[in-house]
Structure 1
Amino acid sequence: MIDTILITGATLPGGSQSDILVAGGVIRELGSIAAPAGSRRIDAAGLVALPGLVDLHTHLREPGFEQSETVLTGSQAAAAGGFTSIFAMANTLPVADTAGVVEQVLSLGQQAGYATVRPIGAVTRGLLGEQLSEIGAMAHSRAAVRVFSDDGKCVHDSLLMRRALEYVSSFDGVIAQHAQDPRLTEAAQMNEGSLSSELGLKGWPAVAEESIIARDVLLAEHVGARLHICHLSTAGSVEVIRWAKARGIRVTAEATPHHLLLTEDLVRSYDARYKVNPPLRRDEDVLALRAAIADGTIDIIATDHAPHPSESKECEWDSAAFGMVGLESALSVVQTALVDTNLVGWNDVARLLSATPAAIGGLIGAGAIRAGAAADITLHDPSTSSVFDVTDLAGKSVNSPYLGRQLSGSVRYTLHNGYLTLDDGLVVPAEVVAASARAGSQMEMGE
């Protein structure tokens, strides 16, 4: 049986305090609650209770690249960061472009039990940008895929992008576009500007992102489909999204924690932990993204968690892989960049990191702390501040750009479907979580 848990004295996102009673995998009651006999009590005085975080953009690497991450280890990293639902990108081996592969990823997530793992289907076969993948088969499979992306590669062919948008609109799916004109970014290594010239690195122009977004919002408007822009990174991109929303186009956009805090100046170190796609941008871009988060132009924050083995990062900059891990640090970075600077409050954090990504990804009933909802809850301590360390990483790779950096806050507890996956800052052992997940599954089936 799943334990009954009473969380006492938690601060809800709106600022009020409440006890939260969890039993049978759901939130039973909010208010002032007497502890039921035999229940586990968690003292949440001083902790903010957020609906379990939802990440619409992660790379879990399995199948095919298990040396970097697996669905299990990526889910453990998610639990450490307060995430209870994660969407896994399609750039695996084999590519997640068939019903069989997405169902495999779904099953691996269910077996691990740390989070709801929803596979993202590839837009094109093999991510090659030449033919549409088995979109319909994936949408109607057991995985019920609703988000499709070639992330890591741009769907650069205009006609193919139009057809993909038309296809997913038939079942209210969404195309999540990696906005990068491939011709404008050939051999690019960092943001294009005076610093790239100074460092002798091939520049990555902002227009390579902005031009694709401009094309795609017009295509989405033309066919009436939903479009989501991954890891938006420039001030110009913000303006395109703002214009599109003013026209009523069905577009949403995400920013990553690293694009809200870090700038291109870090590339001076030639430390490949700071090599990412899209690249770290200027101070002006960071400030524009923060403002767009605050005014609602950018809808969500997503990590683009991209693990790599050490040999892919501990090498010359030109040879290093693009990408950063980000699940474990995301909420602390959001607090540091947005909450501590008074740009957003905890209600906004709940919207940006839970309710809205859940809605975009089609997670029914997720993103709220209320009686009757699934007991996905994150308890965060905003009063702490510490230097982020390799011991804070729970996944398989250590390519974090935050190592050695002071960050605010810490996740103390994560509950997924009513059981603990993070207990007082420690990831719960895999066998315990798997047993809890099996027990919950049996309860749902009435066994």
Structure 2
Amino acid sequence: MLELTLDPLVIVAMLAVCTLVHEASIDAPIVVLALIVFSLSFPGASRLQDSPGKLVREVILYWCALALLLLFFGYASGYLKVFPAEVLLSWALATPLALSAAHLAARALVPRVLAMQGNQRTAVIIGKTDHGARLASQFRDDPFLGVRVLGFFDDRDRLRLGDAGGGATLLGKVGEALGFVQENRVDLIYITLPMATQPRIMALLDDLRDTTASIYFVPDVFVTDLIQGRLANIRGIPAVAVCESPFTGLDGAIKRTSDIVLSLLILVLISPLMLAIAVGVKRSSPGPVLFKQRRYGADGKEIVVYKFRSMTVCEDGERIVQATRNDQRVTRLGAFLRKSSLDELPQFINVLQGRMSIVGPRPHAVAHNELYRRLIKGYMVRHKVKPGITGWAQVSGYRGETDTVDKMQKRIEYDLDYLRNWSLGLDLWIIAKTVSVVLKDRHAY
């Protein structure tokens, strides 16, 4: 209930407070606005487990989107002038602060409520394996889950188990689990035995049916690094997604729609600038205005990416040398274009074509892909999605030359993190942050 109602209640409360502060009356238009805002913001988002930085970022993006929507409909309908301007302005400024404070307060108070007697569920874990230890550590370190692990059951002795266990104690052998669960009113049972012991697991499940505890099987497939891991149901047959694109179904439609709308808007705004750059490139040195280079797109398929030519050469062969500081191949105009990322502007045409997205892993030359896919584990996973004009790695300090494998490794880590945690809000945040990074970054040449 707290997660469902916190956002709408805070927003409506701040509207009432701002109205009273400015000594305006809470009349029919204010009440109607409050009802509209409540309906638009309900149910609220769950942010209890977000880090403080991510929480504040998501709150600001959420409120900006909602406020812009209200402003658009208010202006289009002509009802905007009905409301006192000072009330709306103070409400727009104060609400994100109030929302952030409310969510931070909830983060501090909810664990204490969950820790009260009777509000925690008890659990045991059968199988003191590595992923069983990770599971126990998650329950121990995350009070929002509201689960207290009593201990493990495993047929190995304490000496063979070593330090594994996530801080929980060894309660006995696997065969003793049923009796312990029945005597101690355990709420949850997690089976973390290796999948290789399937007959043993099936026998254990048969025994545990004589209990009212909820039973969960946590297979050791989850030890691997999942990308958009989720459960699927194929006509009654459960399947686990180990590596999947985040842009499937409705999320895929949202991503593509946002790409089309934003790229059209941006191309309209920058068309005079692109024309001026095209003239400058043509006059600065012999050669074409646009540089076309092969890249890997979604699912590893080759695409052609457009850029304004910034060098005296157009390399696209089996061996490509990355641009370095004071590179003699870069023209004077090209140096400015690369520094300011203006050479990337034609890629908005790629976005409209459906070859790229505005936000996504940056495309590397095919020659570089063939090199790094052999050196970096999971490198090709970044090609589960369309490449982007800007990306999570680029706004996190990994823009420009990657002259060592370690630098490329860090870039790939950020790319995979983007795939795991994608949201429309994260895309908008990256776009906004890109502007500030381009203005002050010194790593592009």
With normalisation by structure 1, the TM-score equals 0.24
- Indicate the structure (1 or 2) with the bigger Cα radius of gyration: 2
With normalisation by structure 2, the TM-score equals 0.24
Structure (1/2) with the larger strand percentage: 1
User: Greater relative contact order: 1 or 2 (C-alpha under 8 angstroms, separation 6 or more)?
Assistant: 1
Structure (1/2) with the larger helix percentage: 2
